[in-house]
Amino acid sequence: MTAENALHRIVVVGGGAGGLELATRLSRRVGRRRQASIVLVDANLTHVWKPLFHEVAAGTLDAQVDALDYLAQATRHHFRFHYGRMNGLDRERRVIRLAPVEDDNGESVVPEREMPYDTLVLAVGSVSNHFNTPGAAEHCMYLDSTADAERFQQSLVKAFFRAQMQGGPQREGELSVVVVGAGATGVELAAELRNAARRAVSYGLDNIDPETDLTLTLVEAADRVLPALSPGLSAKTHQQLLSLGVRVLTSRKVVEVTPDGVRLSSDEFIPAEFRVWSAGIKAPDWLGELDGLETNRINQLVVKPTLQTTLDDNVFAMGDCAACPLNDTDRTVPPRAQAASQQAIFLTRALERRLDGRELEDFTYKDYGSLISLSDEHAVGRLMGSLFGSWMIEGFMARTAYAMLYKKHLTALHGVGRVAVTTVLQTLYRHTRPRLKLH
């Protein structure tokens, strides 16, 4: 047995915000001291911060340039990365199964295999929940992954060029987008698409009127946008969406999606070439088949306040895929990026305690507020803290705070010095790089 194999094996499945931060932090703390070997498993080769998927979809962020390479991150921080999608678990033998990786021609790149663990952390995130709405699975686009966002962006670019060659849209709904669900993703996507259309015209696609040809409709079943956030923040966001020319329909439920548009509970039909579903989330379906682990109605793994699954103390879950009690209430921790980041910090310390044979503490979630990006220059938000209480911000201040959230994520992955240097370089690069991806 090699020295590496003799170490306690911590396997983190899922390289999203929480999983990647956890693997990096653990490697700095226990991996560097040779207390454990750290392995990160993901079905992709690169990482993009999920709150930025709406920018990838609109083309204002180029995932090929801004993505983080898992192999490079693993090499730099002394953990190992394995490429593959988890599709099974044997808790008695303490192994996970990884599905084979195939190329576009169906040829095997990486074979099916098993991977042993001593401690397993599942951080596989969430996917869209269309609630079995007729036609939604077949006729909607989703923003569950970087690949989803890039597919949307490619379709949008083709629609822009088609309209340019035609002298503008030639039929109803040809440049129309309906976004189902006015949570943070839906709101930010609608706003970013208006900004993308304006930039497209500035790059010479002048047969398109960015204000009228690209019609944007946001549909929400609740009585206001951002129903999970404060009414004040919701009202500010609604006002800003209207100023961007986004049609906002609240208290409307989508009852059917067709290849040509969406039908609402009011029996109104909205023609739309692009139909994006962002109305709810669930954990991946395969979590309900993991060797008997307890899940809830949306497939989340039910965990104790220690983030250990209820039926196996060697298996932890975090982020969107975990149903974690919210601070001694009957609710669960909300599926938000700040929750995943807090859980990554908590689990780094918790797994250190576990390696030392000490009792684990309970996770406590702290809500630091919410920020919604509406353009390069504008955002709205509510910040919360023990010093100032709760206060609303908007405009440049909110946009700066939003940008700092991303910098905080990058700092957790790279450290302060590297982020400072790359920020300067990116600022200089921005002056030579197109502000919209049109390819």
User: In this predicted model, what pLDDT tens digit does every residue of 365-409 receive, in sequence order?
Assistant: 999 888 898 876 678 887 765 444 567 888 778 888 888 888 999
- Same domain? For 112 and 155 the reply is no
- Same domain? For 110 and 18 the reply is yes
- Same domain? For 8 and 118 the reply is yes
- Same domain? For 398 and 348 the reply is no
- Identify the pLDDT of residue 388: 47
Domain range spanning residue 376?
369-429
Place of tokens 């929480």: 18
**434 in a structural domain:** no
Q: Which of 277, 278, 295, 274 is nearest to 286 (CA)?
A: 295
The backbone torsions φ and ψ at residue 61, rounded to the nearest 5 degrees and listed phi first, read: -130, 130
How many residues are given for the chain? 439
- Same domain? For 114 and 249 the reply is no
CATH classification at residue 17: 3.50.50.60
Q: Could you give the CA distance from residue 229 to residue 89 in angstroms, rounded to a whole number?
A: 37
Q: Could you give the CA distance from residue 160 to residue 94 in angstroms, rounded to a whole number?
A: 51
Q: Which of 380, 382, 362, 364 is nearest to 372 (CA)?
A: 380
Q: Could you give the CA distance from residue 149 to residue 134 in angstroms, rounded to a whole number?
A: 23
- Tens-place pLDDT, residues 27-36: 999 988 888 9
Helix segments in 7-145, DSSP class H:
17-26, 53-58, 63-66, 70-77, 136-139
Q: Are 398 and 379 in contact (CB under 8 A)?
A: yes
**Bridge-partner residues for 116, per DSSP?**
95
- Same domain? For 9 and 61 the reply is yes
Q: Judging by beta carbons within 10 Å of its beta carbon (0-12, 13-18, 19+), is residue 424 exposed, middle or buried?
A: exposed
- Identify the pLDDT of residue 387: 44
pTM of the model: 0.92
Tokens of 418: 């590297």
- Same domain? For 275 and 392 the reply is no
**Bridge-partner residues for 88, per DSSP?**
97
Axis-axis angle for helices 70-77, 17-26 (nearest 10)? 20
**363 in a structural domain:** no
- Tens-place pLDDT, residues 10-19: 999 999 999 9
**249 in a structural domain:** yes
- Same domain? For 276 and 287 the reply is no
Among candidate residues 224, 256, 280, the one where a domain is terminated: 280
- Identify the pLDDT of residue 431: 62
Q: Which residue has the higher pLDDT, 378 or 273?
A: 273
- Same domain? For 244 and 290 the reply is no
**131 in a structural domain:** no
**362 in a structural domain:** no
Q: Which residue has the higher pLDDT, 420 or 219?
A: 219
- Same domain? For 203 and 120 the reply is no
State whether residue 274 is helix, strand or coil.
strand
- Tens-place pLDDT, residues 345-371: 999 999 999 999 999 999 999 998 888
**244 in a structural domain:** yes
The mean-pLDDT minimum among 132-141, 250-259, 399-408 falls in 399-408
Axis-axis angle for helices 231-243, 184-202 (nearest 10)? 20
Number of separate domains in the chain: 3
Among candidate residues 252, 280, 308, the one where a domain is terminated: 280
- Same domain? For 78 and 19 the reply is yes
Tokens of 214: 């690209």
Q: Could you give the CA distance from residue 9 to residue 28 in angstroms, rounded to a whole number?
A: 15
